[in-house]
Structures are given as C-alpha cells and as structure tokens.
Amino acid sequence: MAGLPAAPAGRARFARRTDAENPSLPEAFASVRVPQGASWPRRFLAFVGPGYMVSVGYMDPGNWATDLQGGAQFGYRLLAVIMLSNLMAILLQALSVRLGIATGRDLAQACRERFPPIVNIPLWLACELAIIACDLAEVIGTAVALKLLFGIPLMIAAVISGLDAVIVLLLMNRGFRYLEAFVIAMLSVIAICFAVQIAAAAPPLGAVMRGFVPTPTIVTDHAALYVAIGIIGATVMPHNLYLHSSIIQTRAYDRSVEGRREAIRWASWDSTIALMLALFINAAILIVAAAAFHGSGHGDVAEIEDAYRLLSPILGLGIASTLFALALLAAGTNSTITGTLAGQIVMEGFLRLRIPHWARRMLTRGLAILPVLAVIALYGDRGVGALLVLSQVVLSMQLPFAVIPLVLFVSDRRIMGTFAISRPLAALSWLVAAVILALNFKLLFDAVVS
C-alpha cells in the first residue's frame, strides 16, 4: 500500500476493496445474522460471542501457572498487575475490534497490505512463536488436568491432548454460533469452580483490596517482576489481537458508516464485559493461591500439581482440588479453539496460504507437544511447571510485535477514515505500548546482568 495516494477524508484507505473480497476467516464471514430495526438488546445479543472467545486467551492454563506462583510467593501484591494488564487488554481488544470493522481487514491482512516483506516476515514469525507458546500452555494444562482427574501418566496425557482438535472441527462444521456457545459453557464451568473455591478460602477483604493498589516493589524486586511480566504475557495475548479483528467480521452487520459505528459499539461492549469475567477468574486464581499457600508455609508452590494436592487439605473442602482440575481441563480445551482460529487467521493473513484446518491444528499442536515430551523425558513431571511460566514470558516478549502495528493503524486516518481514534486515545494507546516495551526491556536487562 506504500506509495498510493491518501484516501479522501472520511473514507478508509482500504475501501478500494470490499469486505467480501478475500475476507478474513472466509468460511464464517458474515454468517451470524444481525437483526435490523430490532430493539437494542437483540442487536447487542447478536454481537455477544467474539469477546468471550477472545477472553479464553486471558484465562488459559498459562495464566494459572503465573497467577499461582504470584499468589503463593507474593500474597495479594500482584493483584494490581492483573488489574492493570486487564485494563490494557480491554483497550487493545477494543482497538482490534475497531480495525476489523472499520477496514474489513484483520490485523494480519492489514500488516501485509501496509508493510513491505522485510517487516511482515518478522511480524509473522513473532506471531507464530506466540501461538506456539500459547499452544504449549494448552498442552501442559490439558495434560496436567487429565493426569489429576483420571490418573493418566503425563507423557500419555500430553499426546492425548492433541486429539482435542476434533472438537474444533466438529463445532466449526456446525456453525460459528455453536463454537461460541461451547466456549461460553466452558467459561461458565471455570467461573463456578473458582467461585466455590473463593468462598471456601474466605480471603481477608482488606488485604485483597490493598492488593489492587500498585507498589514500587513490583518493579524493584526481580523475582516479582519476572512473575509480573509473565502475568502480563499470559493476560494480554498478542495473537488475540489478530483473532479479534477477524472473528468480529463473522457478524452480518450493515457495512455502511452508521452500521459499522454501531457494530464497533456493541462489539466493544461484548469484549469489555467478557474481559471483566477474565479479570475475576485471574484474580480468583491468585487470591485462592494467596489465601491457601502464602501464609501457610507453602510459599514455594508454583506447580499446578502441588496446588491440586494441597488445596483440599488446606481449605478444608474435599471437592476443592477436583473443582480446580476440572476448571483447568475446561480452560485447556477452550484455549484449543482460539489457538486453532488464530493460527489460521495469521497464516492466511500474512501469507495468503490456506491449508486444511486439521492440518494447521496438527502442525501447531505437534510443535507444542514435542517440547513438552522432551522436558518430561529429561526432567520428569516437575519440569513442565517452569516450562509453562517460561512460555508466558515468551508471549510477553512478542506483544510489541502485535501492539505497535495495531496502534499505528487505528491512529492513522488514511487507513481508518472517520473511525480513526482520537488523539487522547492514541496517546493512551502508545503509553500502553511503551509500558509493555519498558517491562520487557527491564526483564531482559536484569537477566543479562544477573
């Protein structure tokens, strides 16, 4: 797109091509009807779904490792990091929605059309690395949950976890709404499980509220900073920015200026409400870990299996450990769906390469399963916990490669037309990007010095 004349004011630069030409996620594009002229609750409900699918990435098994470690080691202190990262996620996902609806492109397609290959190839590789890191967390989480619930050896459970691709294929064949319904059902299971565990843990309300207030020690303490960046990497998911800009286009909204404006409003509400649910679940994991482990002589709990073993005895609730493992299985299964779609969207957007969904799923799943099997073989079951936390730090390192292009696009009136964000919002968005970059550089500097 470089070198083309700027579009007239009020029109998006990408408007030369209609949304229906080479659409994002073509098998589901505009497949969900939006009732025209209906009441606002019915119109809003038509947009409910994509936000919850995106929220899956904000409570996947990778979050569990970082939240458990943060709560056990530092009590309620890192609740402020969870809240901050969730607020950043709400902003960034709203920008992703705006890009997809305003331009008819997902973020990967926009990058391909805007940037030269020398930029696009590193962006694509960084995003693929993020998807593999996320898939790694899904494999570990699902495998650990199968082991805890059914006693399956971790090596075998990791292989079995690759078969959950069948769920994605079956649901996609039924229609996108079935996919969304399955995701929301699994999210409900996770929320109920942790609501029961919080009630059993009975954490002190004052300490919990103080945990949401940021303290300087989060940055000055390297151990806390490492976990904090892992939480940010596990919460603000880079591939979710690509995913959301695509799946919002499954809605058959009016493609006029007013229709797009309304679609942006309803879709932003959908993602904001869904991400508040993610905030509750992430905070619940850390709160349960802090209440159960931090003050009881178990501050070194960082492994999901250790948490499972200790929860019921410490909380005095026999079903607590089972609920914990059940929620973990639901989270791992759910994450498979979003990982599958994100992988497809990124590959098709950057490379315009379409391969069968099952082949894409098996490829990314295989790339995630092999490191898990290698770690289990070399270090035993205890090594997967460290691998899980490391995967979230890797995700955090990939964030700038998704955040910077997104903010760049939605701030550019030549691309977005009348839907470009205001200067104050652009300044806030760049501030978020700067915070993410600063935290990443701080972690890298400390790692090199130490």
- Structure-model confidence comparison of residues 333 and 166, the more confident one: 333
Quick one: average pLDDT of 52-68?
82
252 three-state secondary structure = strand
Q: Show Cβ contacts of residue 11 under 8 Å, excluding neighbours closer than 6 positions.
A: 417, 418
33 three-state secondary structure = strand
Ramachandran angles phi, psi of 116, nearest 5°: -75, 165
Task: DSSP letter for 6, please.
Answer: P
Query: What's residue 19's pLDDT?
Result: 60
Q: Which amino acid is at 294?
A: H
pLDDT band, very low/low/confident/very high, at 141 (cuts 50, 70, 90): confident
Q: Which two tokens stand for residue 401?
A: 């490669």
Burial environment of residue 238 by CB neighbours within 10 A (0 to 12, 13 to 18, 19 or more): buried
Tell me: pLDDT of 296 over 90: no
Query: What's residue 336's pLDDT?
Result: 75
> Judging by DSSP bridges, how do beta strands 32-33 and 251-252 pair with one another?
parallel
* H helix or E strand, kind and range, residue 99: helix 79-103
pLDDT in tens, 230-261: 777 666 778 889 999 999 999 999 999 999 99
Tell me: pLDDT of 20 over 60: no
pLDDT band, very low/low/confident/very high, at 175 (cuts 50, 70, 90): confident
251 three-state secondary structure = strand
The size of the chain, in residues, is 450
Q: Which amino acid is at 265?
A: R
**Could you tell me the sign of the dihedral formed by the alpha carbons of 394, 397, 401, 406, in that order?**
positive
Helix, strand, coil percentages for the chain (3-state, nearest 5): 80, 0, 20
3-state secondary structure labels for all residues of 368-415: HHHHHHHHHHHHCCCHHHHHHHHHHHHHHHHHHHHHHHHHHHHCCHHH
Quick one: average pLDDT of 1-17?
43
Query: What's residue 8's pLDDT?
Result: 38
Least confident of 33-47, 88-102, 304-318: 304-318
Query: What's residue 420's pLDDT?
Result: 96
The share of the chain scoring above pLDDT 90, in percent, equals 42
Tell me: pLDDT of 382 over 90: no
pLDDT in tens, 301-345: 767 888 888 889 988 888 989 999 999 999 888 887 787 788 888
Task: DSSP letter for 290, please.
Answer: I
Query: What's residue 113's pLDDT?
Result: 92
Question: What is the overall mean pLDDT for the chain?
Answer: 84
Query: What's residue 139's pLDDT?
Result: 80
Domains and CATH numbers, the chain: 38-449 (1.20.1740.10)
- Structure-model confidence comparison of residues 93 and 436, the more confident one: 93
